Amino acid sequence: DHPVSLYAATKKANELMAHTYSHLYGIPTTGLRFFTVYGPWGRPDMALFKFTKAMLEGKSIDVYNYGKMKRDFTYIDDIVEAVVRVQDVIPQANADWTVESGSPATSSAPYRVYNIGNSSPVELMDYITALEEALGMEAKKNMMPIQPGDVLDTSADTQPLYDLVGFKPQTSVKEGVK
């Protein structure tokens, strides 16, 4: 509830607006939070492609917080599987929900939010090591301090997703970067 970056604030604002529409107009709404997605056809500005390109070109990669931050890297196939399983489950309003006793995981509106992540944060240096092993080369690393707005650790609580659809992402970073 207290974003530390503009990026995080936009995500929270989106969820608040979606909940408000769901509450005001009864529109069933499901929000999905994707945790550090990587894999084929990914964004070129994300670590997998950015680091790979730099390594293949013999350039150094910037490693923020000296590689000590942890991310809940989630392989794209796991994201797709979760989305396919969730898409046909229509959220229902919880008639017993109140502000005083209510959990943020439920609502008086037909609205839910689910995390899709591996629930196993990986240190950035371990991600880079897996990439080095997959490419058969060592990265030239430019070790840097943490940047303003960065968070040290991200981790997805996927129990509500599992309870809903019986699925939890499990592709390891070592397998996913191959």
Helix (H), strand (E) at residue 111: strand 111-116
| Distance from C-alpha of 93 to C-alpha of 90, rounded to nearest angstrom | 10
Which entry of 7, 25, 75, 127 is annotated as an active-site residue? 7
| Distance from C-alpha of 165 to C-alpha of 87, rounded to nearest angstrom | 10
26 closest CA partner among 102, 87, 111, 96: 111
| Distance from C-alpha of 20 to C-alpha of 29, rounded to nearest angstrom | 10
Question: What three-state secondary structure class fits 122?
Answer: strand
Tokens of 50: 């950015």
Tokens of 152: 């040290």
Question: What three-state secondary structure class fits 41?
Answer: coil
In the residue annotation, 7 being an active-site residue is answered as: yes
Question: Residues 114, 119, 121, 122: is their CA dihedral positive or negative?
Answer: negative
> Which positions are catalytic?
7
